[in-house]
Each structure stands twice: as structure tokens, then as C-alpha cells.
Copies of this chain bind each other. A is one copy, B any other.
Amino acid sequence: MNNGQRVILITGGTGFAGSHLVEALLKKGYSNIHVTSFGGSAGMVGSLLQPELVHQLDLSDQEKTLALIEQLHPDHIYHLAALASVGNSFDNAKQTIINNVDLQLNLLEAVRKFTPTARVLIVGSAMEYDLHATQAAAGQPIDEHQPLGPVSPYAVSKVAQDLLGLAYFYSYQIPVVRVRPFNHIGERQSPDFAVARFAQQIAAIEQGKQTELKVGNLEAIRDFTDVKDMVKAYILLMEQGIAGEVYNVGSGEGFLMKDILDQMIKLSSAQIKVVTDQSQFRPLDIPYTVTDNRKIRTLGWKPEIPLNLSLERILNYWRQQS
């Protein structure tokens, strides 16, 4: 079967990573790409795919999820749909966890019933790891053997999704591959995330709509990967990842948030005053998160887009939005 013949389904396919994934799959010759979208327009994905390939679906609706999988019999399922904001999940602990588990279970049950040989990529998170008690606490990159110990309810939901995938692989031999992406950035990311929030504010300041740039904790060290590199890893894992296995994906480089902000400010000619906003701090933030990406590199992946190009693209994107 060639790429064009395969039936692809991307849940949450009109969202941030989803939209970049659709672009990347089209470039690789996949054409039979279905996406689910929940409560909103298909955005730029609407201009890439025929309307009949965009399915309005709330995956927490079990009956409709079963019906879609029965109808499509997908060969590859990228499961990206989830409530995604870490910052908010402390206020919505229950909704985040129950929702993400619910979607995951509905999808896996539908796969088990109608298309049990489909490969399923489950998107977890770097935040599944116990970043206090591991290599991370010692300033070392984090490999896949580090213990799990999520700090936020969001991260707990990602552990549950991830391990449900493993459980269905063990129990029903569904070829699930799990990925734990580290921070990734790009156009169309929600300003709930720091780099997008910085860019949005810089663009607003340039256009005289805002006077100060409000920031949260700038002392954290994060591993930023361009979303376009990230979705290439997702495709590679779908095509070549070992079923049942889990892979970290990230650039492997740590950047201080303060330095990222400085780089972005230098990309602007505006005078920018930075002020601290306590409301942007989390109950407990993790100081250091950098990937040990040797496992995914053995499959041939590496990050290709330098950070400064990503930041410039993101800033230009927000300038066009303002």
C-alpha cells in the first residue's frame, strides 16, 4: 500500500500540531487524510482538505466515535485531540483528566472493535516524567527510562492516555506507538503557551495596542522544537516506531525562558517593557526539562529548524493576526 492509499485519521487535526501534521502528510504524498474537529472552524486545514474529510466530532461521544471508525477503518490514527493547557488544568483538574481519558478510551475501544490492526500514535507529554526526582533535577536530559511523576492534572491525564495505549497493546495487540513530545512552538499555537503569548504581545505592542509585555516565570529551562520538526517525528513514529514502545521527542537543547524572550524582543524594533504577572505563575513549575532524544534519533529523526527562524516565523504570524 502506498501513502496515497492509506486511510489516515488525525483526531484534533485542525488544532495547532494537527494543522502542521496535515501539511506535512500532504507533502509526503498522503492524500486520504481525515481529521476530526470539535466546536470551531477547520481553520487553515479547511483550505487544505476537502470538506468531506473534516469530521465535526466530539470524541467524548462514544456512539459517534464508534460510527466514524467503523465508517473509515483508518490504517493510521494520530490521536492529538485533548484538553491541552497545563496552566489551566489546576483549575479544571477533573474536566481535564476525565475528558482526556474518556476520549482515549472511546478511541481505543472503537479501534479494538473495528480496525484492530490500525497503527495508533498516542501523544503524551514530557510532563509525564517526575521532573523533580530524576535526571532532570540533576540538570541532565530525560530519557524514556525515567520514572513517571506528573505534577499537573494535565500531565496526569497524559500518563493515563499513554498507559492506556500500552494496556491495549499488551491486552489486545493493537499496534500503539507512544510519543512524549517536549515543548514545541510554531504558528497557530494558543497564547496559553509562553512563546506564542510573548509573540502575541510583541505584535500588539508594535501596533500600539498594548504597552507592556507581561510574563510569568522566566527562570525555567525548556527544550523547544519547531512544530514542523515535531510532526515529522510523529510521521516517522507512525511509519517506523516499534509497537508498544515509547519515544521522547525534542531538540535536546535547553533554553532559558528569559533568553528566548530576549531573542524575540531583539526581533522587534519596538521599545518593549517587560513586567512580571503573578497570575501567569503555576502552583509549581518545573525548573528544567530537556530531552534525551537518542531513541528517536536511531530512527533517523533530528531537529532541522534553528530556533531563531522559528521565533521569527511565529512573530510574523502574530503580526498578521493582530
Q: Which residues of A contact B (CB under 8 A)?
A: 62, 90, 93-94, 97-98, 101-102, 105-106, 109, 130, 132, 145, 147-153, 155-156, 159-160, 163-164, 166-167, 170-172, 283-284
Contact = CB atoms under 8 A, between A and B. Distances in A.
A287 to B, nearest CB: 13
A163 B167 contact: no
A101 B149 contact: no
B167 A155 contact: yes
A152 B171 contact: yes
Nearest to A170: B151
A81 to B, nearest CB: 16
A164 B171 contact: no
A65 to B, nearest CB: 12
Contact of A160 (B160, B166, B170): B160
Contacts of A160: 97, 101, 156, 159-160
Contacts of A150: 163, 166-167
Given A130-B166, A150-B166, 10 more contacts: A93-B105, A93-B109, A97-B160, A145-B147, A149-B170, A151-B170, A153-B164, A159-B160, A160-B160, A172-B283
A170 B132 contact: yes
A172 B98 CA distance: 21
A163 B158 CA distance: 11
Nearest to A285: B171
Nearest to A62: B94
A114 to B, nearest CB: 16
6 contacts: A93-B105, A149-B166, A150-B167, A152-B171, A156-B164, A156-B167
